[in-house]
Structure 1
Amino acid sequence: MNTITNSAPLDSVCIVLFGPHAVGKLTVGAALSERLGYPFVHHRDVHDLVVAVWGAEAGGNERLHRHFRTRICEEAVERGERGFVFSCVWDLDDDEHRAGVDEACAVFRRVGWRVLFVELAAPLSTRVLRVRPPLRRLYERDRFDADVMAGKPLRWALGRFNSKGDFPYPQEHVVAPNEDDRPWPAVESVLAQLSFDGLNFSGARATGAVA
C-alpha cells in the first residue's frame, strides 16, 4: 500500500475508483464526491446510457463505454471542474480495459491534472450480501446479480479486478478496505492515504446504497 503525498491543493485531481463487483464503488464514490465537491460518474451510469441507446446487447461493448467515459472526462475539463471522480470495473489483465482507462486518464494528464487510483477491497462473502435487496438499487439488478443470489458467483471470476502487488501505476495507487455498510470508514482511509488534510468527517452521513 502506497501513501500519496499531496503537495498540491485539492484542485486538478482525478480519482479513479476501481475494484470488483459490489465492493462499494457507488457508495464510496458518492461520499468522496460529497466530501471533496467533485463530480462523480459511476461506471453503471455509462453502461445504462449505452443500453438505453443501443439495447442490452450493446451493454458489454467496451468501445462504446470508452467513448462515453472519455467524452464525459473532456466535458469536466472544459467546464473548469476542480476535480473529478469516476469508477470502473477494470480487469487488470485485459489490454482493452487498460487502454480505456488510459484514454480517460490522458484527458486529465494533458492539462496537468494529477490522476490517483483508489482500489476498494472487500471479501467475496461481503460482496455477495450486497447484491441482495434492499442494498442493491433495483435498477441495477440484472442477470449477474440473479446468478449470485442463486448461489452461483462464478461470473465474478471472469476477470482480475484487484491488484496483487503488480499495479501498473504503483506511485499513484492506494488500497482501502471497504467491509463496512457505511462508506465513511473507507472514505477516511482514502483521504488519509492521499494526504488530504483539514477535512471534517464529524458530519458524515450514512447511506445505504452499495454497488
Structure 2
Amino acid sequence: MHLVNLFGPPAVGKMSVGRELAARTPYRLFSNHATIEPLLEVFDWEMPSFGVLKTEFRRRVIEEAVASDIPGLIFTYVWALELPEDAQTVESLAGPVVEAGGKVDCVELYADLSTRLSREGTPERLAAKPSKRDTEWARANVVDWNERHVLSTSSETPFPLRFPHTVVDNTHLSAAETAEEIIARLGLPTNPDGRLLS
C-alpha cells in the first residue's frame, strides 16, 4: 500500500485537496477530522482519553487499510514540526505500511496566513468539521497555531523524517489544481477511465 501523508497548517486545504486526490486516483481519503469529530462528542480536546483514542483509531484504520486491497491511503495531518512527538506520531502511523513493504510519501501543503484565514469558514469546511463552525474561534485558532508552532519546513526547520518529502505551494491553486500537481510529482495512478469519482 502507498500512504500519502498530506500535512500542513490548519485551513491550508488538506481535506479539499485530499478529496480531489481520492476522486482522481484509486486511493481513499482518511481525513484527520474523521477521528477528531466523533471523539469531541464525548471528550474535550485536552482530555487524555481524547489523545489516546485519536491515535489508536488512526493506527487501527491504517493497519486495516494495509491488510485490505486498498492500493493507497491519503491521510491528512496538522504537524507541529518543532515537536519531536509529532514526528514520532507520523512515523508510528506509517509503521504498518513500512512493515508491510509499502511506500510512504509526505506531501506538505503551504499557503500564507491570509490565504488560510480566507479559507476558514467555507461551506465545505463547516459541513465536514462541526468543531470549526464557530468561525470566529476557528480563525483565531489558525492564528494561534501559526504563532505557537512551526507548521512549514524551511532551511531552519528541515523535514525531520526519512520518508520522501514534497512541498506544494497552493496559495494560488485550487484544490483540483493542487491534486493534479501532486499526482504528477508523485506519479500517482489515476482512475483507469479517467473519471472523477464522487
Range of TM-score over shorter length? 0.7 to 0.9
- Over the matched positions of the two proteins, sequence identity in percent amounts to 27
Going by fraction, where is helix more abundant, 1 or 2? Answer: 2
CA distance in structure 1 between the aligned counterparts of 2:188 and 2:29, rounded to whole angstroms: 18
Name the CA shift for 1:195/1:79 in 2 (closer, same or farther; >3 Å): closer
Once the two structures are TM-superposed, the CA of residue 199 in structure 1 deviates from its matched residue by: 7.0
Deviations 1:136-191 (A, max 9, x none): 31424256x42354798234322111111410236601111212463111112111
| Contact in 2 for aligned 1:47/1:59 (Cα 8 Å) | no
Corresponding position of 2:154: 164
SS at match of 1:54: coil
Corresponding position of 1:8: none
Q: How does 1:57-206 map to 2 (within 5 A)?
A: 57-58=46-47, 61-134=50-123, 136-138=125-127, 139-141=130-132, 145-147=135-137, 149=139, 153-165=143-155, 166-169=158-161, 172-180=164-172, 182-196=174-188
How many aligned residue pairs are there?
194
Query: Which runs of 5 or more structure 2 residues have no equivalent in the other structure?
Result: none
TM-score (norm 1): 0.79
Once the two structures are TM-superposed, the CA of residue 109 in structure 1 deviates from its matched residue by: 0.3
Query: Which runs of 5 or more structure 1 residues have no equivalent in the other structure?
Result: 1-11
Once the two structures are TM-superposed, the CA of residue 79 in structure 1 deviates from its matched residue by: 1.9
SS at match of 1:136: helix
| Contact in 2 for aligned 1:147/1:153 (Cα 8 Å) | no
Q: Which moved more, 1:93-102 or 1:17-26?
A: 93-102
Amino acid at match of 1:39: R
Could you say what the CA RMSD is over the residues aligned between the two structures, in angstroms? 3.0
CA distance in structure 1 between the aligned counterparts of 2:140 and 2:34, rounded to whole angstroms: 25
